[in-house]
Amino acid sequence: MWLLTVFEKTNVRIYEYQDKAEALVALKQFEHGALLTYMN
């Protein structure tokens, strides 16, 4: 599972993706403050 963590001024949002390619597309939508991680 791929987790996209987005850090905003006052919030932290976490999105889950099963596919790496899909997660990378989502990551490109955020210019700053995003982290992509993989969990088994």
| pTM score | 0.86
Residues whose CB is less than 8 angstroms from the CB of residue 38 and which lie 6 or more positions away in sequence, other chains included:
1, 2, 3, 20
pLDDT, position 12:
97
Task: List the structure tokens of 2.
Answer: 């791929």
pLDDT number for residue 6: 97
Q: What is the pLDDT of residue 31?
A: 80
pLDDT, tens digit (0-9, with 9 covering 90-100), for 1-40: 999 999 999 999 999 999 999 999 999 998 889 999 999 9
**35: which residues sit within 8 A by CB, 6+ positions away?**
4, 5, 7
Distance CA 21, CA 26 (A): 9
